[in-house]
Structure 1
Amino acid sequence: MAEKPQPVLVLYCQVCGLPAEYCEFGPEFDKCKPWLIQNAPDLYPDLLKAANAKEADKVADQLQSAGISSVDAAAAAGGSSEAKQEEVKRLPGGKIKKKEKQEVVIEKVVRNKRKCITTVKGLELFGVKLSDASKKLGKKFATGASVVKGPNDKEQIDVQGDISYDVVEFITETWPNDFLPK
């Protein structure tokens, strides 16, 4: 004889009321996370890893505020003393200051579903005059090109049209010596 099917036991979230499998699609997933970590860790293993990583970061911050780096702590615990200590500049609020990389960024921005603007950022870091570059780009591709201020108050070149593939070749041919490491 065939066995009777057993009823399925569903675990409902105490915060949002949805089944625990569907909490991530609910409106209050951030509020549900602590409850899910405690009551359903097998459903969301990434949350458990993230919680453990946050605890490790808190411990590292406490050690650093006490003047002990995690490398020093590992060496004191019998770890390798050859581990390299990395200098990191921390700003108020715990933010880490990054060095500005010298790179040229080319982006294609789509507007009105059909029109494109190609944005070229970072040419000034290599000593290229943006006004001259915009004139050359405009002539080469027979489009409008202008120097504008970007979202972070840095100047960039906006070129009308989708020329993102051709502009790379044009820049490297026009200014070949400016992009070589010195």
Structure 2
Amino acid sequence: MAEKPEPTRVLYCQVCGLPAEYCEFGPDFEKCKPWLIQNAPNLYPDLLKEAKERQVEKVAENLQAVGISSPGDGGGAREGQSDPSGSNSASKPEEIKRLPGGKIKKKEKPEVIIEKIVRNKRKCVTVVKGLDLFGVKLSDASKKLGKKFATGASVVKGPTEKEQIDVQGDISYDIVEFITETWTEVPESAIFFIEDGRKVAAA
């Protein structure tokens, strides 16, 4: 009498439910990979190799991170000390604003801009911008300017939506002296005139 053949044992994937050798054709092979490495490494030797390589890379990354950030192993800069390159690993890198084309935007210094505008070919207005950057209250400044030059002065929003002081008449001849005497926090070197579309230093 012939012996009964033993039934073939099929290993089914616990993730997708397919036989393990068919996982790669299933919809969730990526999800199956950890289970296959654990339970059927002989079916997918490449997966095992891949996993080992990934593990080695991870260990190398961890060692590198420890070498840079750990203050105890001498690999990185100790706390309170700067490394040989002169930068302290504890301090954050300085943020640099880059303009289109790779140009670096320098941090702008506060400036007072004075511009004389002639309207209707007769009416002249002297525009003062930037006093607020020095902590000067514009409403107070407009009152003082109006009183000093016996003219109308008001705080208005300019073309760029920033507030400025419009003073009626041409007072550009001695406004610099008045500004530096009234508001000592504004240096003469920070005051500029706009003449023919160019910025000219008052000092």
TM-score, with structure 2 as normaliser: 0.42
Report which of the two structures shows the higher radius of gyration computed on alpha carbons. 2
Q: Name the one with the larger strand percent.
A: 2
TM-score, with structure 1 as normaliser: 0.46
